[in-house]
Structures are given as C-alpha cells and as structure tokens.
Amino acid sequence: MFFGLSKLFWSMAQPLNALCLLGLLGLLVRLRWKKAGQRIMSAALIAILLFGFLPIGPLLLYTLERQYPTPSTLPLKIDGIIVLGGAFEAYMTAATGQIAANGQIGRVLCFIDIAKQHPEAKLVYSGGAGDIMNPQAMESEDARKFFALAGLGGRKIFYEEKSRNTYENAYYTKKMMQPKAGENWVLATSAYHMPRSVGIFTKLDWSVIPYECDRKIHPDGPFFKSLPSVTGNFYALSLATKELLGSIAYYFTGKTAQILPLTPLEINYAPD
C-alpha cells in the first residue's frame, strides 16, 4: 500500500508536474472565475520561472550532498559493501536487448571501485522491481551483466531482489546478510540519497559506513560552475524534493531515524 501510494503521490508532486497541474487548475477555474483563475495561472508561471532560472534546486541538492563527505580513509578490513539499486532501466533493457543505465550509474561504478580495492569484502547489490509500471523488470539482471563486463564476474555477489524502495533495500539486505556487531559494512549510493539511506539503516540498528558517490553538484557549490539551465535546475529540484519528501514521510511512519543530520559529518577511519 505504502509503495503504491508513494509512487502515485510522487508522479503528481514532482515540481514541474505539480506546477503544470496548478496552471491547468487555474485554466479550469478561469472558465468560471476569471480573476481567480488568472491569479493561479500567474502564480504557476512565476514559480516555473523562479525555479527554472534560479539555482534553488541545485542549492537544495548541494545541501543534501554535503551531509556525508566521502571518507578519506576506510578500515583495512571491510566485511561487506552494499550498493543500492536505481541505476538501471530494466524495462528498457528488456525492450532493446542492451543494458540501459540512467543518471545514477555513478553509484555502481563507485561500488565496483571499492570492491576491487577490498577483495575480502562480501558484495551486495540491493534492488528489485521498483518500477510500478513494469513490476516484472528486475534491475538485478542488468547488474549481473554490468558487473561481468566490469571485471567482477569472478566475485560472489549477493543480490537482494525483493526491495522496491530504499526502506526495503535496507530491511531485506539486513535480513539476507545478518550482519554481526563490530563488522564494517560500507554503503555506497548517490551523495544526495545518502542522508535518507543512512537514516533508514540506523533505524534498523545497522551501523554502516556511508561512502557517497555520484555527486550531481560541484563540491564548491552550484554557482558559476556550469552554464544556467532550466532543465538542469528542475532536474536538481526534482531529485532534492523527492529525497526531502521521502525523508519526511519515512520519519513520520517510523522508517528512518532522522530527516536530515543537523550538521555535515566528517567521517574518517583509522586503519585497524
């Protein structure tokens, strides 16, 4: 129930979708109440211009990405490395016969890099059928092919295939791997996604080492690092809004220990 409702809600709550719906509402209201409808349409247009031309989305995304900087050192012994799904479009892979990756592929590349540095670690890919429109499309099939191409074909990789969202990633991965106290488990996911992910793992009493990957915003901030882009600003706003709304929803349904850390964290580990 939660999964289906969350997907339906997000399809309408995505910033650009929501503003277009607001404009459509204004158009309908205008048919009966001209001034009121015009005001609603004007508000929608102003919001589109503001969010499109000002780096509000990138600033929000930058705030999320700086919460868990990549640790400069890791323990010498890593017991396991987990990467969260979301980097493949399995339904497109099935349709084209070619691996279809999306903008989150950086987290998978990061996972491969850490895995090659720590051959002693157990490897886990956590991600099942998260596409409500294509429930039969399994990301894990794409991941298997990708890891073989990347040179991990000889490593044993555990595939958690039941999860459909971030909470289920953590829940089913813990159930499958049964981590022990004192073990060092690294969590690799996109930088903007790390605060929500760590909050969920913490809620489930699993202390992981956050290893952020796949930054979307320059570490020095979003200003003057790229040319202005309306589509880029809305893309960043969509990613940030989804994370913030997801964290709030998870917090009030008891699925995460935090909405956001109070301050950016600096995490380093002395060699064992």
User: CB neighbours of 144 closer than 8 A, spacing ≥ 6?
Assistant: 157, 159
Burial of 101 (0-12, 13-18, 19+ CB in 10 A): middle
Neighbours of 40 (CB within 10 A): 20
Tell me the average pLDDT across 197-218: 94
pLDDT recorded at residue 4: 66
Look at residue 202 and give its three-state secondary structure.
Answer: helix
Judge whether residue 270 has pLDDT over 50.
Answer: no
pLDDT value at residue 267? 53
The model carries a pTM of 0.87
> Poorest-confidence range of 18-22, 140-144, 223-227?
223-227
Residue 166 confidence (pLDDT) above 70: yes
What are the tokens at 237? Answer: 């706003």
Region label for 174, one of left (φ > 0), alpha (ψ between -120 and 50) or beta (otherwise): alpha
Q: Give the separation between CA 77 and CA 122, rounded to whole angstroms.
A: 11
For position 62, what pLDDT does the model report?
Answer: 94
Q: 216-255, pLDDT tens digit by residue?
A: 998 888 776 777 789 999 999 999 999 999 999 999 999 9
Q: Measuring CA to CA, which residue among 11, 12, 15 is closest to residue 234?
A: 15
Q: Which tokens hold the place of 270?
A: 């002395």
Residue 175 neighbours by CB under 8 Å, 6+ apart = none
- 27: CB partners within 8 A, 6+ apart: 37, 41
